[in-house]
């Protein structure tokens, strides 16, 4: 299943990632034909229970949930806006494969805050913690399942808030952030006993010196060659049942030049 979920409210008051998602969709269609999750256009956000735009985010999560229930996919390739759109897809596939799912979170940020700990109160900094079963009750009840910490592999993550660091240390979440660790990722997933993989790709995992078109650029990121090597290794070793492209903050086609190898790699695969 190919899912288009251009949610922007989780990233704050700007709809840059909405337009970035549309740019990606236009570039990938054809050959890919997407199923759309309805998303409201730009509107003012209100702060409710420590989450900006909470009500509409819950509404959009419910819509994504209904679409996944209707189609019941075994694989999900998604183009999206902010990272909070992952709550539906990851929790669905985790339920589908009964926990036999490694989640490779390729992101400059851990996205593991709660509404109470988040400095920004924007949901795109909370989806992984929500998937781990902690966070807003209304979001949690709309998830299909929860992950265990051993299912999560943070790749290229280099910015952590204090509560995130505490959670990672307490629960021994895998953090891989150097070339040797990247090369051992497949072995680590195999040793943990997982056969299926979900790849979350926030474009801010890339170094902003080569790709600045993100909502929260972070220095010392991955090169395109390093990222492609990781993706190819995961595809050789596992059944990749889910993959997402997220948080592109651009509207001009020229911004896609650097990431074209990623787009080509997935646009011509039959696995989804």
Q: What is the mean pLDDT of residues 230-244?
A: 96
pLDDT value for 271: 44
Q: What is the mean pLDDT of residues 11-34?
A: 96
Alpha carbon distance 192, 198 (integer Å)? 15
Residue in the block written with tokens 């929860």? 146
pLDDT value for 265: 83
Please report whether residue 8 resides in a domain.
yes
Please report whether residue 272 resides in a domain.
no
Please report whether residue 197 resides in a domain.
yes
Q: What is the mean pLDDT of residues 75-84?
A: 97
Give the domain extent around 47. Answer: 2-267
Per-residue pLDDT for 247 more than 50?
Answer: yes
Please report whether residue 22 resides in a domain.
yes
pLDDT value for 190: 97
Q: Which stretches of the chain are assigned E, i.e. beta strand? A: 2-5, 35-36, 47-48, 51-52, 76-80, 101-106, 152-155, 174-176, 196-202, 239-246
At 182-230, the pLDDT tens digits run 999 999 999 999 999 999 999 999 999 999 999 999 999 999 999 999 9
Please report whether residue 204 resides in a domain.
yes
Flag the least confident range among 111-115, 164-168, 263-267. 263-267
Any idea what the CATH number is for the domain that residue 156 is in?
3.40.800.10
Task: Quote the pTM value.
Answer: 0.97
DSSP string, 155-189: ES--B--HHHHHHHHHHT-EEE-SHHHHHTHHHHH
pLDDT value for 270: 56
Please report whether residue 208 resides in a domain.
yes
Per-residue pLDDT for 272 more than 80?
Answer: no
263 class by beta-carbon count within 10 Å (0-12 exposed, 13-18 middle, 19+ buried): middle
Alpha carbon distance 255, 272 (integer Å)? 25
Residue 215 near residue 204 (C-beta atoms within 8 A)? yes
Per-residue pLDDT for 269 more than 90?
Answer: no
Q: Chain-wide mean pLDDT for the chain?
A: 96
Please report whether residue 173 resides in a domain.
yes
Q: List phi, psi (to 5°) of 32.
A: -85, 140
Alpha carbon distance 201, 198 (integer Å)? 10
At 101-153, the pLDDT tens digits run 999 999 999 999 999 999 999 999 999 999 999 999 999 999 999 999 999 99
Q: List phi, psi (to 5°) of 25.
A: -60, -45
pLDDT value for 125: 98
Give the three-state DSSP class for 54: helix
Please report whether residue 58 resides in a domain.
yes
Alpha carbon distance 26, 30 (integer Å)? 8
pLDDT value for 267: 79
Q: List phi, psi (to 5°) of 3.
A: -110, 135
Number of domains in the chain: 1
Question: 100 forms bridges with which residues in the sheet?
Answer: none
């Amino acid at each position: 299943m190919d899912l288009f979920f251009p949610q922007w409210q989780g990233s704050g008051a700007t709809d840059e990632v909405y337009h970035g998602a549309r740019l990606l969709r236009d570039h990938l269609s054809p050959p890919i034909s997407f199923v759309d999750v309805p998303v409201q256009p730009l509107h003012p956000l209100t702060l409710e229970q420590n989450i900006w735009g909470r009500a509409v985010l819950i509404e959009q999560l419910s819509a994504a949930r209904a679409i996944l229930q209707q189609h019941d996919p075994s694989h999900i390739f998604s183009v999206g806006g902010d990272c909070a759109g992952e709550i539906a897809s990851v929790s669905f596939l985790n339920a589908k494969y009964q926990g036999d799912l490694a989640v490779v979170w390729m992101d400059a940020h851990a996205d593991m805050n709660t509404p109470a700990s988040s400095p920004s109160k924007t949901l795109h900094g909370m989806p992984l913690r929500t998937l781990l079963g902690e966070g807003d009750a209304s979001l949690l009840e709309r998830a299909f399942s929860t992950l265990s910490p051993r299912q999560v592999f943070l790749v290229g993550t280099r910015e952590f808030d204090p509560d995130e660091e505490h959670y990672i240390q307490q629960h021994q979440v895998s953090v891989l952030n150097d070339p040797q660790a990247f090369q051992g990722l497949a072995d680590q997933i195999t040793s943990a006993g997982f056969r299926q993989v979900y790849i979350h790709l926030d474009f801010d995992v890339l170094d902003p010196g080569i790709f600045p078109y993100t909502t929260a650029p972070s220095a010392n990121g991955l090169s395109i060659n390093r990222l492609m090597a990781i993706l190819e290794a995961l595809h050789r070793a596992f059944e990749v049942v889910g993959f997402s492209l997220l948080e592109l903050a651009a509207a001009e086609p020229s911004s896609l030049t650097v990431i074209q190898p990623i787009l080509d790699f997935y646009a011509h695969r039959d696995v989804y």
